[in-house]
Amino acid sequence: FDDGKIPSFFAMGATIPGRLERVSSNWRGPHLGLRDEVSLAAGFSIKANMLYAPLMEYRGDVSDLYTAGGAARLQNPQIEARGRGNGFHVRVAAAWTWSLLRLEAGYQRLSFSTSNVRSREYGPGDAATDTPVKDVSMLSQGLFAAASLRF
In this prediction, residue 77 carries a pLDDT of: 67
In the predicted structure, residue 146 carries a pLDDT above the cut 50: yes
Q: Is 147 exposed, middle or buried (0-12, 13-18, 19+ CB in 10 A)?
A: exposed
pLDDT in tens, 39-70: 999 999 999 999 999 999 998 887 766 555 55
Cα distance between residue 63 and residue 83, in whole Å: 18
Averaged pLDDT score across all residues of the chain = 81
pLDDT in tens, 83-116: 999 999 999 999 999 999 999 999 999 999 988 7
Residues whose CB is less than 8 angstroms from the CB of residue 41 and which lie 6 or more positions away in sequence, other chains included? none
Higher pLDDT, 36 or 75: 36
CA–CA distances in Å: residue 43 to residues 76, 94, 100, 103, 151:
53, 11, 11, 10, 17
Cα distance between residue 17 and residue 60, in whole Å: 18
In this prediction, residue 11 carries a pLDDT of: 44
In this prediction, residue 39 carries a pLDDT of: 96
In the predicted structure, residue 32 carries a pLDDT above the cut 90: yes
Helix (DSSP H) and strand (DSSP E) numbers for the chain? 1, 7
SS3 assignment, position 100 = coil
Concatenate the DSSP letters of all residues of 39-95 into one string: E-GGGEEEEEEEEEEEEEEEEEEEEEEEEETTEEEEEEEEEEEEEEEEEEEEEEEEE
This prediction has a pTM of 0.68
Range with the poorest average pLDDT among 21-30, 53-62, 140-149:
21-30
**CB of 108 closer than 8 Å to CB of 151:** no
